[in-house]
């Protein structure tokens, strides 16, 4: 489905720059299934690991080899 969406976006001169999903009982790293879906250069994957207790852990990866991307904390006031 991801590849189809990327093709459809390109066809109307749009660009999808990333996606996110969770691993409810896993680690915030690309799974075998994530890697099968493939990445492309410049495409960012955000993966949230949801623990039974406590906050989710979020990590980002980029490109076909899923290189780690450093995430910076925001100081935005709510």
What contacts 39, CB < 8 A, 6 or more positions away? Answer: 45, 61, 62, 63, 64, 65, 66
Average pLDDT over every residue of 48-63:
87
- 33-55 confidence digits (pLDDT tens): 888 877 778 889 999 998 777 78
Q: What percent of the chain has pLDDT over 70?
A: 91
| pTM, 2 dp | 0.74
Quote the mean pLDDT of the chain: 84
The pLDDT of residue 1: 65
Token pair, residue 45, equals: 């994957």
Distances (CA, A) of 65 to 36, 44, 73: 11, 11, 24
The pLDDT of residue 33: 87
Domain boundaries, the chain: 16-69
């Amino acid at each position: 489905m991801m590849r189809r969406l990327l093709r459809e976006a390109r066809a109307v001169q749009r660009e999808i720059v990333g996606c996110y999903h969770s691993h409810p009982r896993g680690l915030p790293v690309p799974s075998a299934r994530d890697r099968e879906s493939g990445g492309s250069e410049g495409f960012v994957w955000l993966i949230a690991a949801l623990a039974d207790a406590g906050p989710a852990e979020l990590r980002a990866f980029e490109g076909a080899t899923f290189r780690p991307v450093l995430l910076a904390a925001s100081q935005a006031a709510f």
